[in-house]
């Protein structure tokens, strides 16, 4: 087994901006040579396609393994072992969705992307990665594609938290969790989102950016419409 990254997770628990902070034991992401080869194939495909379409920031390519693969992989220990499906919204270059598909081969992964060119890249990358389960690729706007009903919803560098919660609400199951990469302004985003939603959350310190976190959000609900059943929710 090869070690992809050693992840020491600092966690803040709460349903608002308060709550205690604790440091969890390190969560090591050990991967097989096969999985590392799959991720290597992903990077090779990314670099090739980057010449034609803008998949990631050009300045990040020199350190793409850390900036994109490890940054996405740090989510893997936060995905409960019992879940069966994951939806990655606005997946773009397949981050974190394709990385998680390699690290969690039993998951049924759905990638949602509105750009047809990026969707073509996703298909090519997933084939070259030789994934045990090929992801389903939905081409269209997040609010327009059929509801996924996923057990886990992810998004990376996509939109403010308030908007993410609206989009994720359409595609999550009743018991789903959300795992969102958020940057240095995450606390302000959380404050804004709490005005409209009851949000049980944990913030996990990022291993690639000291100002960033992974927000793990439980079964949130509208603050003023707590009995509402969101459209498209799987029962």
Question: 68 Cβ partners below 8 Å, 6+ apart?
Answer: 43, 46, 56, 60, 93, 95, 99
pLDDT value at 183 more than 70: yes
pLDDT in tens, 195-205: 999 999 999 99
Q: Is 137 a member of any domain?
A: yes
Is it the case that residue 65 has pLDDT exceeding 80?
yes
In a domain, 88, yes or no: yes
Q: What are phi and psi of 95, to 5 degrees?
A: -115, 120
- Whether 104 is covered by a domain: the verdict is yes
Residue 86 lies in a domain: yes
Domain presence at residue 157: yes
pLDDT in tens, 5-51: 543 333 445 654 443 333 333 334 578 899 999 999 999 999 999 99
Kindly write down the DSSP assignment for every residue of 33-51, as one continuous string: HHHHHHHHHHHHHHHHHHT
Q: What percent of the chain has pLDDT over 90?
A: 80
Q: Looking at residues 172-179, what average pLDDT do you find?
A: 97
Q: Quick check: is 186 in a domain? A: yes
Looking at the predicted structure, is the pLDDT value of residue 68 above 80?
Answer: yes
Q: What is the pLDDT of residue 230?
A: 54
What is the mean pLDDT of the segment spanning 38-67?
A: 95
What is the CATH classification number for the domain harbouring 52?
3.40.50.150
Cβ within 8 Å of residue 120, ≥6 positions away: none
Domain holding 173, by residue range, is 2-222
Is residue 230, in this structure, part of any structural domain at all?
A: no
pLDDT class of 126 with cuts at 50, 70, 90:
very high
pLDDT band at 3 (very low <50, low <70, confident <90, very high): low
Q: What percent of the chain has pLDDT over 70?
A: 83
Residue 99 domain-assigned (yes or no): yes
Q: Taking the model in full, what pTM does it have? A: 0.85
Which pLDDT score is estimated for 43? 96
pLDDT score for 31: 80
Domains contained in the chain, number: 1
pLDDT digits (tens, 9 = 90+) for 146-171: 999 999 999 998 999 999 999 999 99
Take residue 232 and report the two structure tokens written for it. 């498209």
């Amino acid at each position: 087994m090869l070690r992809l990254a050693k992840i020491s997770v600092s966690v803040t628990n709460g349903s608002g901006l308060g709550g205690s902070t604790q440091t969890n034991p390190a969560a090591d992401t050990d991967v097989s040579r096969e999985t590392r080869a799959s991720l290597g194939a992903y990077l090779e495909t990314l670099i090739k396609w980057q010449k034609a379409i803008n998949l990631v920031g050009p300045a990040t390519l020199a350190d793409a393994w850390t900036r994109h693969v490890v940054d996405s992989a740090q989510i893997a220990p936060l995905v409960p072992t019992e879940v069966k499906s994951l939806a990655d919204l606005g997946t773009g270059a397949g981050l974190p969705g394709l990385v998680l598909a390699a690290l969690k081969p039993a998951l049924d992964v759905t990638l949602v992307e509105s750009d047809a060119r990026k969707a073509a890249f996703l298909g090519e990358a997933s084939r070259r990665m030789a994934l045990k389960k090929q992801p389903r690729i939905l081409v269209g706007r997040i609010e327009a594609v059929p509801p996924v009903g996923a057990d886990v919803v992810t998004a990376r560098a996509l939109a403010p938290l308030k908007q993410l919660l609206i989009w994720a609400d359409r595609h999550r199951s009743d018991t789903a969790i959300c795992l969102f990469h958020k940057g240095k302004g995450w606390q302000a985003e959380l404050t804004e989102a709490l005005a409209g939603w009851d949000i049980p959350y944990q913030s996990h310190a990022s291993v690639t950016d000291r100002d960033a976190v992974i927000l793990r959000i439980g079964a949130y609900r509208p603050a003023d419409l707590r009995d509402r059943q969101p459209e498209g929710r799987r029962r």
